[in-house]
Amino acid sequence: MHGLIFFFIHKFAERFPTGSTSRSRSAAGSSTSGSSVSGSSVSGGKHLPSGVYPDADAVAMLEQLALATGRPLPEIVGEFGEFLAPHLVKVAGTFIDPRWKTLDLIENTEAIIHRMVRMEKPGATPPVLEVFRAAPDELHLVYASKRKLCLLAAGIVRGLANHFQEQVVIEEPSCMHRGDAFCSFVIRRDQGDTQPADSPMTATLVSASRFDVPGDPGVVMDEPTPRVIGDYRVLGLIGSGAMGRVYLAHDDRLDRRVAIKVMSARYAGNATARQRFIRESRSLGSIEHPHVMAIHQVGEHEGVPYIVMQLLEGRTLRDHSDISGPLPLGEILRIGKEIASGLAAAHRRGILHRDIKPANVFLEGETRSVRIIDFGLAREIDGQAAALTHDGALVGTPSYMPPERIDDGELDAKSDLFGLGVMLYELLARRLPFEGRSMATVLTAIAKGTPTPLQEVAPLVPREVSDLVMQLIAHDKADRPADARTVSDRLAALEKTFAI
């Protein structure tokens, strides 16, 4: 746990009157009475605010405080969360949009944690969050840390609401303390409050996933549009993400239009973030394959890194499926084959995608040839880039997320195959294999690993096709196909057999 938390535990203990006494209570077989409470009485060794220390040390300090005050530990943990929240807001001040309110900040907490903690202190293991904004006044939060401090998380939520002078209602549909795979919260802002008209979370943002916008949530603070980036003439803004912007530009030398992803100047000053951006961009640029978005150049402009990408014409698989309705079996098999082929090329370079879903598959031109886009969550398979990525983070879109991600397991190439299997199931059955009314129930269904067999919901799909899809979404990675190349070859053979 980050050393700053220990600093605030001591500050929290100082809120209790020095010399106050506890009720007698038994602890580890011995009784303690008359214990005084002060910042110094809650000891746990010396912890530097810049250090990283075992979670158990922090829990032990809170246990000492509970013992000294004679109050239940859960009550102390929750109250500490409420105390901690406004201090965390102050510490993260430069990363917070001043227009945000309680739910807005919670929605962006994972991205803030990553930039402030994981990239600076790779040894730290902050709680991992997955958030779904169901409505302007409702947010679903999954807490996937093994430390099981969901009471602290709930306390922080209450503390944030107090800080922003809002009222929230918190429900906990699932909890690891009740035997569930993760903790989840449904957080609703009291209807008596009104969302500010200029809140960035209620605005409709330009969707630029087709141009490989970074996957982090959030809104980029206003930055002037440059006239040029390197040797490229900027024509306009395509879209934005938390880590930067994507511009439409013209390459005068080759007389072509391109898309340029530029890291936000706010984060480019962070050497670790800049290193990650450049490293991952160069790794992705090494993939030369007709079914992966092409990267033309990686560079820096006035100290800010950027990547020049192919400008695609067409629409995503998600849009195509929604607009066109059910797709012919032959086209589904062809799309699946090309996705698998593109993944095989990335995996050969040691790169995972980690967020394979219909919105990240682009169908280019009249032939609707596949281009895999948005490697913003990519990670090198060999782990060399672990310190620069969302190591341990619950990333990806819930419906397409492999069970090993939910169980905090190790991701590998077969994790990308799971996402491909979910997509094929959805295209063939016109429904998802794992469904639920909330993000928590969807993740619970995936964690249980019991999807309805494709043959039952889509009996007209050939048995050979159904069998392959069910293998791809197998709960145990060992039961999935060996690799993406094998899947591409099998889909190619099925395409020849069943295409009409």
**How many CA atoms does the CB half-sphere of 63 hold within 13 Å?**
11
Quick check: 376 and 437 in contact, CB under 8 A? no
**Confidence (pLDDT) at 399:** 87
Residue 254 has pLDDT above 90, yes or no: yes
Q: Which one is the CATH code of 314-498: 1.10.510.10, 3.40.50.920, 1.20.1250.20, 3.40.1390.10?
A: 1.10.510.10
Residue 282 corresponds to which tokens in the numbers above? 């160069």
pLDDT for residue 394 is more than 50: no
Q: Known catalytic residues?
A: 355
Flag whether pLDDT at 421 surpasses 90: yes
Name the segment(s) of the chain with CATH classification 1.10.510.10: 314-498
Residues of the chain with CATH 3.30.200.20: 209-310
What mean pLDDT value characterizes the chain? 79
Residue 354 has what pLDDT? 84
pLDDT number for residue 201:
28
Please give the pLDDT value at position 329. Answer: 95
Predicted local distance difference test score (pLDDT) of residue 163: 94
- The predicted model gives 380-408 an average pLDDT of 57
Q: Which residues of 291-326 are buried (b: 16+ CB within 10 A; e: fewer)?
A: bbbbbbbbbbbeebbbbbbbbbebbbbbbbbeeeee
pLDDT digits (tens, 9 = 90+) for 314-325: 999 999 999 998
Q: According to the model, what pLDDT value does residue 350 have?
A: 87
- Confidence grade of residue 146 (pLDDT, cut at 50, 70, 90): low
> Residue 22: what pLDDT?
42
- Average pLDDT of 394-403? 73
pLDDT at res. 496: 93
- Domain 74-198, CATH among 3.40.50.300, 2.60.120.700, 3.40.50.620, 3.90.1520.10: 3.90.1520.10
In percent, how much of the chain has pLDDT > 90? 38
Whether 240 has a pLDDT exceeding 60, the answer reads: yes
Averaged pLDDT, 150-159:
90
pLDDT tens for each residue of 262-291: 987 766 777 777 777 787 788 888 899 999
Enter the CATH code of domain 209-310: 3.30.200.20
- Listed in order, the ranges of the chain carrying CATH 3.90.1520.10 are 74-198
Average pLDDT over residues 114-125: 58
Q: pLDDT per residue over 50-105, tens digit each?
A: 677 777 788 888 988 998 888 999 899 999 999 999 998 988 887 788 888 999 89
Q: Is the pLDDT of residue 486 over 80?
A: yes
One-letter identity of residue 267: Y
Least confident of 184-193, 375-384, 434-443: 375-384
Rg (CA), the chain: 25
Query: In this predicted model, what pLDDT tens digit does every residue of 325-347 receive, in sequence order?
Result: 899 999 999 999 999 999 999 99
Report CA-CA distances (Å) from 134 to 103, 141, 398: 11, 10, 13
